[in-house]
Amino acid sequence: MFVRRWMSTDVVTIDENATLSEAIHTLKRNNVRRLPVMSEDKLVGIVSDRDLKEASPSKVTSLDIWEVHYLLSKIKIKDIMKKNPITISPDDTIEKAAILMFDNKIGGLPVIENGKLVGILTEQDVFNALINITGARIPSFRVSLTIPDAPGSIKEVCDKMREFEFKCISILTTKQGVEEGKREVIIRFHAEDAMLDKIKDMLAKDYSDVIITENG
């Protein structure tokens, strides 16, 4: 799962010398939440809708409408943008992008290749990738269970399920919230409805916390 597949290549940008007023209109017109800021062909910053709101005069200001518009036309984007934004390569993984966004509390990453801006990856793109990699939109069943954290343990579960004409869609695993020496595995799969109870009973003989849900 690489950034190249999920990023938006039709990137709306703004020049560093544009005004706050121009940036606000650009966001609204294109229905986006952030704008990479350019100096000629070079990325020099990024500005978000939150940055623009914080830089705008308060709604409780004593200024009249003409004074507000005057201020909006005088504030330059280069003065309020976040300089040296965190970027990512199109050949980096979605997982790396998610970590960068989470750790730095940001909602988007400009995508740079050979020094050029080639796209932007937003939190919505990451959510879309997660939905696809898990197969969450595919009508299916989902089983979660706790298994030993040992080589071959996931294969063993799948081998047991194959006895009931199981077809795997996705497999995820985590150690979060699980006791030492074990892991939780989540398998999304296809099977006949009549097989579900049999699959659950079979797994429960060897594993704990077995839960089967539909489209969960």
User: For the chain, which domains are there?
Assistant: 3-131 (3.10.580.10), 137-214 (3.30.70.260)
- Tell me the C-alpha distance between 105 and 103, whole Å: 6
Q: With a cut of 90, say whether residue 21 has pLDDT above it.
A: no
- Tell me the C-alpha distance between 187 and 141, whole Å: 8
Q: Is this model's pTM higher than 0.95 or not?
A: no
Task: Look up residue 186 and give its two tokens.
Answer: 């989540």
- Tell me the C-alpha distance between 125 and 187, whole Å: 23
Span 128-158, pLDDT tens digits: 999 999 999 999 999 999 999 999 999 999 9
Span 82-121, pLDDT tens digits: 999 999 999 999 999 999 999 999 999 999 999 999 999 9
Name the residue among 45, 51, 44 with its Cα closest to residue 20: 51
